[in-house]
Structure 1
Amino acid sequence: MKYFIAFIFILVLSNAVAQISPDCTTAIPICNNTPVNSGTNSYGVDDFNGANTSGCLEKTLSGAIESNSAWYRFRTNATGQLGFNISIDTSEDWDFALYRSSDCNNLGTPVRCNFKDNKDENSFIGVGEDPTGNTNNNGYEAWLSVTPGEDYYLLINNFSNINSGFSIQFSGNIFTTNPYDALDCSIISNLLGPPIAACEADYIELDATTSDALSYSWYKNLGSGFVQIAGESNPTLVILDSAEYRVVVARAAGNIISDVQVGFTPNPMANSVSNKEFCYDESSIDLNAVDAEVLGAQNPQEFVVSYHSTFSDAVNNVNGLDKNHPKSSGTETIYIRVTSFENPKCYDVSQDFNIVVSEEIIQDFPSIVYLCEDVSTAILGDDTPNANYTYLWDSGETSAVITASVAGTYTLTISTNTGGITCSESFTIELVISNAPVISNVIISDLQDNNTVTIETLEIGDYEYRIDNDAYQDSAFFENVLPGLHTVYVNDIKGCGIASETVVIVGFYKFFTPNGDGVNDNWTVEGLDTLDSPLLSIFDRYGKLIKQLNTSQPLWDGYYNGVQMPASDYWFQLSFLDANGERVLAKYINNHFALKR
């Protein structure tokens, strides 16, 4: 839940007679202290002159739009966001309309209006956000964006014949930027000033000092009329109780009578909270679960509990933590604020507690370990153990690492103690036996336009492949391989070895037709010039050597000792000098071709 700075200025006083007006023309002015109200009783004149509707409002059981109504007026003195909360009994049905106007005879259409019943038994209606965090409250209208000097009239209407009263609570960020003058006090001309909403034990002094006063008399009304306060004749009066107060200033020019309402809200108390210890995981901490410990026997419907990351934020009621507070390892101090719903100026920030979250146990060791066929054992586990951890394998071993030789899955449980709790995480490690690669065949397609190479291995493994010094690739197939001498490599990704072979890529015709037509009259092999001292030996199908070619004599015309050879298949071998100067045969060449006549 996120909280805005909310100044709650009206209190419900069961024994106080409220300043309240049922008519627009005598609307009670609201300043930085809002009038105290103890209920509404019918209405005065019909401010809507018999109209059936005003905005969302409709005629009530009274036969007019107004029923048990109260009118207030206020003027903005800042720019920003403004809202209000009307606190009501959950069993009662209240409505409201807000007019941007300075003339009761020209109210216009309300800028915010709510006529919905309270079948959900909400404890607040208003503009902005329900202070309890209830986002499904249909008794709320959107925030107002205000600028200085805007006049408003607020009608609060009760559909019932009997009601238990309400309180008005203003909210919005204009009270953050302008905590003392968000509403313009110049609209109030009362000698004793605007009504006062105070916190229990606040020092409240009423000052009626008048230059030409002859005497002062003070009165108190607890619900059954004003009664003079014996012995009080000074121009000031220190207030200790919630009530409506009156001063009569006797003057030669005529007496001044001024009334003011004062209400005290009990201060909430934050109870001490024990530190909370958690194991680290991806979930959050539910701070809602701490509310009951903070409030103790106090009614949760009367107070809001918020949590903050600094004491300053708690004092200023800003940057409230989300009640689903994310976990982070280590110790975090949480500062508590308990605020009265009736009057947010009444709060307690005396308590804090620590959230202690264990270290996140991270698997910083391999989850798969490969054991090469020529190695007897492998090391599994955490080879850089944490001194704060304990280790337990499913085999019963308690070391951070173990040696293993049998392929399979091993389980390691790592634990750490945080305060009074033990936190554990289990990790699986798979031991895989891996064989070194062995090249069984290299398929070469010498197509001249696009020479391809495919590497085959004796076993299927987790291998990667490359030709010469190119980068490794996942595929064993290579295209557009240039003619010449190449080395192919197969690397076991698990680290169990690299296999290599030297291959020769040459391009040769699959057949030739030595008939003297000038087309394919000779047979040759492309790419001999890329090899060192190549020697190409041609054999007939019976293995008889027919011809030898080299870079000086690269062509065969189909003759042997001056005699035309018959149409048939012929075979060849290609040899060359390797890096050591030794003559070797080229492997993996598809070494036969056809003579056609």
Structure 2
Amino acid sequence: MRALFSAVCCFLLSFLAASAQNSPDCRTAIPVCADAPIMGTTDGSGDIDDFDPEVIIQTGCLEKGSNSSANIEHNTGWYVFRAGTDGQIGFDIEALPSPGGIITAEWDFAVYGPFDQTTGQNFCTIVGDGTAQPIRCNYETNDTGFTGIGINPVDGREGAPFVKQSQNTYDEWLNVTAGEIYYLYINNYNTNFDDDPESFILTFTGTSVDNDQDTALDCTLRDEFLGLDITACEGDPDIVLSALNTPVGSDIANVDWTVDYDDDGVIDATLSGTGPFGAELVVSSPNSGRYYAEITTASGTPPTVNDPGGILITFYGIPSLTVTILDDLVYSDQTDPYNVEFVPDGDGDYEYAINGGEFQDDPIFMDVPPGMNEVVINDKNGCGMSDPIPFLVVGYPKFFTPNGDGVHDNWNVYGIDQLSNPTVFIFDRYGKLLKQLDINAGWDGTFNGRDLPSSDYWFKLEYDRDDEGVLVARSVRRHFSLVR
């Protein structure tokens, strides 16, 4: 534990650093640590507008408050922290009085996680669309000026598990594992509708903090002052990066911004920041790249602060793809089963589904049915889903049912018009020729005007296949079933 004087100095630094800026958006959440209290404000609304129990999937956490209209994202602030050790973490959000000495703020919060940073997943997308639900939240009426996780320092009341409309402004402790990422959303309900920011003090608590406040949360996250890598969608609102989130706070003389658009280690451009010292950078879609901020301090100690890893911002568009037929009668000697690969145009995180089935991550589908099929590609970053894309697999069905219901009433080679010089002959099981097919009509299961019985029948398909520019005669003999 640091000496009292040192802690007070850190507190004053936090006060100066945080009172001038805020992140209203999950994507640019401010990295924080537990080594000193944090002075915060809420002065904006982000793009996650469905934090509402009437809209988002309802959970015990979201139903805890007695005033459902409080559960909105407006006049908010976002923070992100990484557990430094295994143990117990909580926090206090303390309302500060206005200049007139009156506390008018009504603080609420939600905690999302734990997230694994190594997965490369876009956490704020799954927070925004409701896939990731808060694991702790409280928007009950505050009667002590405090809300948070752990124990209310005013009345000693300990946070409890979900009890609907419990009116306890504290939630139960977080049991964390080192390396886990958590996002903290703080909302000022009383000023949601007039955009009047007010201040609070955020102090982390718990046994991990009691043991060592310098390691309870991973303070190296704060060195990544531009935040975690951001995945966004083309057409999303501008992303504002702030160099005010550094450990030096407002001790800034100048900020130099650069970008590596290809993320190949080569700086492509120098950019101009906005605001005091050029400390903010507006990044618009679709300018993907790794962005860096180099800060020259006003005090000269240290002379510069540079986030060596920068922040990678990637904008994804609505996905599209190319269909590659691996195995069918046109592209290989394989007649059954038929296999297809989908090659996406882009480098997003995609999943695929064919013919209304379940999505899968693997772009290769085995045993695809012959004939016309449809594929849908979905961007798991939340940037959209394609319309169904039709594709044809040239092959033959294993059965047909000529019962007049309009479904599988005729047998033919699907996509036969894609073959070169095709001819199809139908035989019974004894080798008797029953039909030379009309390519456009197929076979209706009759011979000389009489319905043939349910049985196995044989066919011979002759066609020419292009083999590296040379047409090679091919012949396929297989059987299929007539089912009545």
Structure 1 and Structure 2 fold alike (TM over 0.5)? no
Structure showing greater radius of gyration is: 1
TM-score, structure 1 as length reference: 0.30
TM-score, structure 2 as length reference: 0.36
Structure holding more helix per residue: 2
- Greater relative contact order: 1 or 2 (C-alpha under 8 angstroms, separation 6 or more)? 2
